[in-house]
Structure 1
Amino acid sequence: MGDKITSKKIAAEAGVNTVPGHMGLIEDAEEAVKIASSIGYPVMIKASAGGGGKGMRIAWNDQEAREGFQSSKNEAKSSFGDDRIFIEKFVTQPRHIEIQVLGDKHGSTLYLGERECSIQRRNQKVVEEAPSPFLDEATRHAMGEQAVALARAVGYYSAGTVEFIVDGDRNFYFLEMNTRLQVEHPVTELITGIDLVEQMIRVAAGEKLAFGQRDVTLNGWAIESRLYAEDPYRNFLPSIGRLTRYRPPAEGEHADGTIVRNDTGVCEGGEISMYYDPMVAKLCTWGPDRTAAIDAMGRALDDFEVEGIGHNLPFLSSVMQNERFRAGNLTTAFIAEEFPDGFHGVEPAAAAARKIAAVAALINDRLQRRATKISGTIGNHRRRIGAEWVVAFGGDTVDVTLAQEGDASRITFEDGETVAIKSDWLPGQTHATFFIDEVPMGVKVNKTGPALRLRWQGLDVIARVREPRVAELAKLMPVKLPQDTSKMLLCPMPGLITALAVSEGDTVEAGQALATVEAMKMENILRAEKKAVVKRVPVSVGASLAVDEIIMEFE
């Protein structure tokens, strides 16, 4: 089952639905083009020994099939020591749904429901959930029965997963079988109450499973978010560095009945290097229904502090707030469709902007009061704290008036709307819970010069709280323009130059491959954005570059 070509042949013999494709070995790129054309585009090019999205490319035409074959072959060799490649039909509008199986050495094999893993980037899973919001009981049963049939056909015992691609009509096709414990196994544990690791150990010791298929029930809903060391603002490219702060949310059962679990292998002070997979942690939540599980995940992400590396926490938070995700309307193209121009952060809606403004005003008030205690009285004058402030972040400005009301503060906005806000935040704290009209929000707080960096539900804003006259004058300040890098190819991530496709003096066309950078076992082909002449190439193959280092310059 570890060989995708062999496994598909066995699956077909076992009566499992399979995707149309060419299961034989492919010698070179030209043969790949011929096979892809005969199958019909689009096609998926895959490494036979692959997994985790490595060695996979989608091709929509001959050129992409040619390039994809070589990239998949290179990644497969680098990641698995096996560069065999096969090609199959790419199912459009697909959902990625997998069945958890469990068997013992005495002939008992069960399925423990399904997981949906359709939120992916670069064919790697980002968000998983159990059960799937798409399957009905009949499809779940049919997929479970086929997964069990395949496991029995190969004499498999222990925990394993049979992965399927499912189209919009609930037709399902076998992808591969993972004969191991998968990253997303916690969501199955949370909805079944079955400890898969315990069962694996018991099976390995020769014990029989103590329960049957009828004993397996699905309770509630579970979500898993994968925390990756990658920069979502740079098309999810890998990031490296030292974890200067790593504070996961509190685990266990919470007062509202939801559960938080975090599986990780890192700690504060640890280094994330370019030589390994970018996954840092698996954050899981459970709730009695899907909405409760998603809301619990949103709160847990807000409470997760990670500093020192680029990471995808803001992106994960934005997914939890996404209306399409919350409705369960998913495909593996979700990220490409919802963020067609890449992830550029979350723009605050009017209600969210007011909440952020209220938090900034309260923090500013605490800082002002602290300053009065430090500076004290000068002569006969004691430093006074104004009540009126202007909060600016992004292109928004919010006028607020702040007044104390017992242990809370009353924020009044320009149109007369008021909210009560309170928090135990103290200067120096990097995270706190703020209650706005008794509704909690976990906010990450960092002082950056005279401004505040506030992060909540995917928002990442630099807020400046000024007195009205200062805010008026600030509008007159000139804006510093960024450096012009339009004539440079910069390294988008820390990585290794594995190929340079052009030389100094060459004329390149838009879309032409210029260089290949490898990082965290993934190959990234950098292409020309427009027609140009290469002026200088200051690097060579084998060079290890930092992010934004110059790879080449153009005339």
Structure 2
Amino acid sequence: MFKRILIANRGEIACRIIKTARKMGIETVAVYSEADKDALHVEMADTAVLIGPPPAAQSYLIIEKIIAACKETGAEAVHPGYGFLSEREAFPKALEAAGIVFIGPNPRAIAAMGDKIESKKAAAAAKVSTVPGHLGVIADEKEAVKIANDIGYPVMIKASAGGGGKGMRIAWSEKEVAEGFARSRSEAKSSFGDDRMFIEKFIVDPRHIEIQLLGDKHGNVIYLGERECSIQRRNQKVIEEAPSPLLDEATRKKMGDQSVALAKAVGYDSAGTVEFVAGQDRSFFFLEMNTRLQVEHPVTELITGIDLVEQMIRVAAGEKLSIKQDDVKLKGWAVESRVYAEDPYRNFLPSTGRLTRYRPPVERVIDGVTVRNDTGVYEGGEISLFYDPMIAKLVTHAPTRAEAVEAQSDALDAFVIDGIRHNIPFLSALMAHPRWKSGKLSTGFIAEEFPEGFHPQVPDGERAEVIAAVAAAIDHVLGERKRQISGQMTGRVVTREANRAVWLGDTEYRLEVKRENGTIGVRFDGKDGNKNAVRHLESSWKPGEPLWAGTMDSKPVAVQVRTIPNGFALAYRGVEAKVYVFTEREAAYARLMPVKQAANTAKLVLCPMPGLVVSIAVAEGQEVKAGETVAVVEAMKMENVLRAEIDGTVKKVNAKPGDSLAVDAVIIEFA
């Protein structure tokens, strides 16, 4: 077994690999760019080596620097994680020439299956059902449009070296093909150093299902069940689960056997994933093979009990698989949410900055329910614009799908992040969505269920009552503290009643609040509340804590708390609400206050996130129609096209290509 390995990656996956290596008694070496000098993976590793400036093309993607770091530290093997160099045939070849072991598949398998175009050809030769498409490299936008017209719309434009949704777009017309091809090729070049593109038919109402493979260097290959990754946004996975609610055992075996046969045909070893697009009738077509560890591998680990990173290391060391196909048993259900630094209320645009508060839920196994959080950040750390915006992968496992989903909702409620925007409100809303809960999924789920984008959720029903009751309970605790400080309370108070008006959006709740020893009773009374219903709340919450964690009528509840004048900003089950708590007299005065009107920004094009201006498509005095492209801004390796929201004449252009802009910076003004 290896004594020391180097991880040629960063962030949460580097931290994940370090954990398993440490468990196996293997020393680890981290590599880092100047932007990552204070990163968590650098702190966790036994040794760390600086390899260059922030852009990946000048640091993490340079093979020679990785090999030099191995020689400097005596690392015997390299785990590439995912992304970066993980699917480059040249990388394991260069390592082999330097006498260093690659913890991943052999170069021949990567060449055969890692390249999206070559993998399609290999699958077709092996008589695997594939999606109709053009398997050759496409030269330019003109050729792309011709091919798309021949295939028939809609089509998927994909980067040959792609992954993670980068360099990928769906096009429904000639115009979208031309524009999407240019944007995708640019993204592919900056993300992977490879701008080869291909086009295939996009299957309408599809599901995305993938088979996890594990092979060794002795010809043994097994499959570890499937994952469903149909909940996607911009072709990037958001939520994954294992197993799939679509498959039956017969289909699972058919997909697994086909995947194993394909892997054996190309001499595959190590961990890998065969991806399929599936119809609602359980028909399926080969999409591609990812010749690496997948982002969503934790859900497979939790339902099988197999550490995939450990198996990859053992295979790379020449060991035979100790697991046979009959040993693989799927137990329970696992759900994974990808927590991103992005603003769900601004079309999920990236958010950068410092994590002024980062308190993930506690990892634990209680009563058969597991909570796991794979992360690469820490409180006080910075989310950089140079890399993928993923903060963490939150995973829950339970005996049934419903229990795993409920556990995920609870864990998301307890996940506290401040300093940047994040997608937890959206993830929480997805967990509560009836269609998600029923398992009736497709890759179009988000576009179909949120056609106008994701907007702040309105507190209603049970969610509204929980938020109102917790706000009243928090206010009561703060009132007790003030009275203790002022000397109005002495000794141990058993009961004390108070009447409060709680404003939640347009709804006013009239509440009676009373403490009875360790319990706070909140009685709803009035036309907008559940008349005369008493909710019993228990919590050890103390003023200043960001999370109110306790029970409401004996059911676990976690509500995030931020203090604002006269009330609190609370977050629960996807709802972020400002709640105002008044005494009767304060409420009477508050009702007289005028309502503030939001500023009108219809005539401004604002920078939606911190980013770099790639291009400006208009000039001062130009007539512009709503929907036309006016600028392109790049952030976190993704190019974002900004379009005019109204018809108008350009009054002023305040930015130029190359400018680095802050969020809400005015780029263009209309007359």
SS in 2 for 1:68: helix
| Structure 1 letter corresponding to 2:654 | P
**How do 1:412-451 residues align onto structure 2 when only pairs under 5 Å count?**
412-414=523-525, 415-451=531-567
SS in 2 for 1:128: strand
Aligned to 1:123: 235
> What is the alpha-carbon distance in structure 2 between the residues aligned to residue 479 and residue 49 of structure 1?
53
Aligned to 2:584: 468
| Structure 1 letter corresponding to 2:607 | C
> What is the alpha-carbon distance in structure 2 between the residues aligned to residue 397 and residue 180 of structure 1?
54
SS in 2 for 1:542: coil
Aligned to 1:188: 300
Aligned to 1:197: 309
CA deviation map 1:516-551 (0-9, x unaligned): 011111111111122211111111101111110011
2:473 corresponds to which of 324, 344, 362: 362
| Structure 1 letter corresponding to 2:135 | M
Shift of 1:45: 0.7
Shift of 1:15: 2.0
| Structure 1 letter corresponding to 2:174 | D
CA deviation map 1:273-301 (0-9, x unaligned): 11100011111111001011111111111
CA deviation map 1:488-520 (0-9, x unaligned): 100111111101111111111121111001111
CA deviation map 1:258-316 (0-9, x unaligned): 01111111111110011100011111111001011111111111111111111011111
1:397 equivalent to 2:525? Answer no
Shift of 1:388: 0.9
Aligned to 1:27: 139
Q: Contact 1:359/1:434 (CA < 8 Å) preserved in 2?
A: no
Further displaced range: 14-23 or 401-410: 401-410
Shift of 1:347: 1.8
1:55 corresponds to which of 167, 176, 179: 167
Shift of 1:94: 0.8
> What is the alpha-carbon distance in structure 2 between the residues aligned to residue 406 and residue 266 of structure 1?
40
SS in 2 for 1:387: strand
| Structure 1 letter corresponding to 2:451 | P
Length-normalised TM-score, structure 1? 0.97
1:267 corresponds to which of 378, 391, 411: 378
> What is the alpha-carbon distance in structure 2 between the residues aligned to residue 81 and residue 520 of structure 1?
15
| Structure 1 letter corresponding to 2:616 | L
1:164 corresponds to which of 258, 261, 276: 276
1:458 equivalent to 2:574? Answer yes
Shift of 1:230: 0.5
**How do 1:121-270 residues align onto structure 2 when only pairs under 5 Å count?**
121-254=233-366, 256-270=367-381
Q: Contact 2:299/2:336 (CA < 8 Å) preserved in 1?
A: yes
> What is the alpha-carbon distance in structure 1 between the residues aligned to residue 308 and residue 497 of structure 2?
59
Aligned to 1:531: 647
SS in 1 for 2:114: coil
> What is the alpha-carbon distance in structure 1 between the residues aligned to residue 655 and residue 141 of structure 2?
28
Shift of 1:64: 0.6
Aligned to 1:482: 598
Further displaced range: 428-437 or 61-70: 428-437
> What is the alpha-carbon distance in structure 1 between the residues aligned to residue 341 and residue 488 of structure 2?
49
1:87 corresponds to which of 199, 220, 227: 199
> What is the alpha-carbon distance in structure 1 between the residues aligned to residue 521 and residue 486 of structure 2?
26
Shift of 1:162: 0.7
> What is the alpha-carbon distance in structure 1 between the residues aligned to residue 352 and residue 505 of structure 2?
28
> What is the alpha-carbon distance in structure 1 between the residues aligned to residue 568 and residue 488 of structure 2?
27
Shift of 1:444: 1.1
Further displaced range: 299-308 or 89-98: 299-308
> What is the alpha-carbon distance in structure 2 between the residues aligned to residue 102 and residue 385 of structure 1?
63
> What is the alpha-carbon distance in structure 2 between the residues aligned to residue 369 and residue 74 of structure 1?
59
Q: Contact 1:496/1:543 (CA < 8 Å) preserved in 2?
A: yes
Further displaced range: 425-434 or 493-502: 425-434
Aligned to 1:97: 209
| Structure 2 letter corresponding to 1:354 | E
Shift of 1:364: 0.7
> What is the alpha-carbon distance in structure 2 between the residues aligned to residue 299 and residue 484 of structure 1?
37
Aligned to 2:624: 508
> What is the alpha-carbon distance in structure 2 between the residues aligned to residue 261 and residue 350 of structure 1?
30
Q: Contact 2:157/2:171 (CA < 8 Å) preserved in 1?
A: yes
Q: 1:412 to 1:34 in 2, by over 3 A?
A: same
SS in 1 for 2:321: coil
Aligned to 2:450: 339
> What is the alpha-carbon distance in structure 1 between the residues aligned to residue 641 and residue 532 of structure 2?
54
Q: Contact 1:227/1:283 (CA < 8 Å) preserved in 2?
A: yes
Q: Contact 1:15/1:146 (CA < 8 Å) preserved in 2?
A: no
Shift of 1:393: 1.6
Shift of 1:377: 5.3
Q: 1:153 to 1:271 in 2, by over 3 A?
A: same
The RMSD of aligned alpha carbons is 1.4
> What is the alpha-carbon distance in structure 2 between the residues aligned to residue 350 and residue 171 of structure 1?
40
Aligned to 1:381: none
Length-normalised TM-score, structure 2? 0.80
> What is the alpha-carbon distance in structure 2 between the residues aligned to residue 82 and residue 419 of structure 1?
59
> What is the alpha-carbon distance in structure 2 between the residues aligned to residue 238 and residue 219 of structure 1?
36
> What is the alpha-carbon distance in structure 1 between the residues aligned to residue 542 and residue 657 of structure 2?
51
Gapped regions of structure 2 (runs ≥ 5): 1-112, 490-494, 526-530
Shift of 1:375: 2.4
Q: 1:535 to 1:210 in 2, by over 3 A?
A: same
Q: Contact 2:623/2:650 (CA < 8 Å) preserved in 1?
A: yes
Further displaced range: 1-10 or 398-407: 398-407
SS in 2 for 1:173: strand
Q: Contact 1:369/1:385 (CA < 8 Å) preserved in 2?
A: no
Aligned to 1:309: 420
Q: 1:10 to 1:98 in 2, by over 3 A?
A: same
> What is the alpha-carbon distance in structure 1 between the residues aligned to residue 185 and residue 581 of structure 2?
54
Give % identity.
Answer: 60
Q: Contact 1:500/1:514 (CA < 8 Å) preserved in 2?
A: yes
> What is the alpha-carbon distance in structure 1 between the residues aligned to residue 394 and residue 496 of structure 2?
42
Q: Contact 1:354/1:398 (CA < 8 Å) preserved in 2?
A: no
Runs of 4 or more off by more than 3 Å in structure 1? none
Q: Contact 2:497/2:515 (CA < 8 Å) preserved in 1?
A: no
Shift of 1:140: 0.8
> What is the alpha-carbon distance in structure 2 between the residues aligned to residue 31 and residue 400 of structure 1?
67
> How many residue pairs end up in the alignment?
549
> What is the alpha-carbon distance in structure 2 between the residues aligned to residue 409 and residue 349 of structure 1?
22
Aligned to 2:666: 550
Aligned to 2:638: 522
SS in 2 for 1:99: strand
Shift of 1:450: 2.4
| Structure 2 letter corresponding to 1:219 | K
Q: 1:84 to 1:438 in 2, by over 3 A?
A: same
| Structure 1 letter corresponding to 2:351 | S
Q: Contact 2:602/2:646 (CA < 8 Å) preserved in 1?
A: no
| Structure 2 letter corresponding to 1:402 | V
> What is the alpha-carbon distance in structure 1 between the residues aligned to residue 127 and residue 356 of structure 2?
52
> What is the alpha-carbon distance in structure 2 between the residues aligned to residue 510 and residue 377 of structure 1?
62
> What is the alpha-carbon distance in structure 2 between the residues aligned to residue 540 and residue 151 of structure 1?
49
> What is the alpha-carbon distance in structure 2 between the residues aligned to residue 465 and residue 35 of structure 1?
62
